[in-house]
Each structure stands twice: as structure tokens, then as C-alpha cells.
Amino acid sequence: MRQIVAWFALIIMVAVLITGALLMHPFGYPPSDMDDYMIANSQAETANNNVVAAVLFDYRGLDTLGEATVLFTAVTGVLLLLRALKKKEKNP
């Protein structure tokens, strides 16, 4: 029973993903409204020549905040892990 449900869920998920991929905007072919808006207005709104930087730090700033959080968590994890291993080595 559980296997049937799992297969059913998998098929539904794959169908949704394939439908989403087929419905997606064609890559690079005519630019969407959002691209046009950002290319036309990023210099006036964010005083920024680099549209990529404007998108990263202004329009999609929350995404960059998450990226920075991921980096912070990774560094904290590595330092904690190596320190714990060193302590364990010293007095087993």
C-alpha cells in the first residue's frame, strides 16, 4: 500500500515538474517583462551600472542574505567540527 502511494506521489511530482519545465519561458527568446523592467530602470532606481549587482543586492536582496547565511553556517560548522575532533584526539 505504501509503495503504491509512493509511486503515485512520485508520478504526480514528475508530471508537475515536466509541466512546469514545458510551460517555462523560452530561454533567451524574447526577453520577459521583468528583464525589460530591470534593464531599463536599474540605473535610475538603484544608481547602478551593473545590473547583476543591482539584482543581487537590491531587487533580490533577501536571496543574497540567505546566501550569506549559508556561508556563515558552513564556516561555523567546519570550525566547530574540527575543534571537537581535535579535543577528542587529545583526551580520548
Partner 1 sequence: MLSKIVRTIANQLILFVLIFGLYVIMHGHVTPGGGFQGGAIVASGVVMLIVAFGSTEIKKSLRESHLSIVESGGALIFIGMAFAGMGTIFFYNFLVGTPFFGGIPPTGPNPGNVWTGGVIPLMNFAVGLKVIAGLSAVVLAMALFSSGEEMEE
Interface ranges with partner 1 (CB under 8 A): 40, 43-50, 52-54, 56-58, 61-62, 64-65, 67-68, 71-72, 74-75, 78-79, 82-83, 85-86
Nearer to partner 1, 17 or 77 (CB): 77
CA distances from 68 to 11, 15, 48, 50, 73 (A): 35, 34, 21, 20, 9
Nearer to partner 1, 22 or 44 (CB): 44
Q: In the complex, what is the shortest distance from the CB of residue 28 to partner 1, in angstroms, rounded to a whole number?
A: 19
Contact criterion met (CB below 8 Å) for 48 and 38: no
CB 27 within 8 A of CB 35: no
Task: Supply the minimum distance, in Å, between the C-beta of residue 30 and partner 1.
Answer: 20
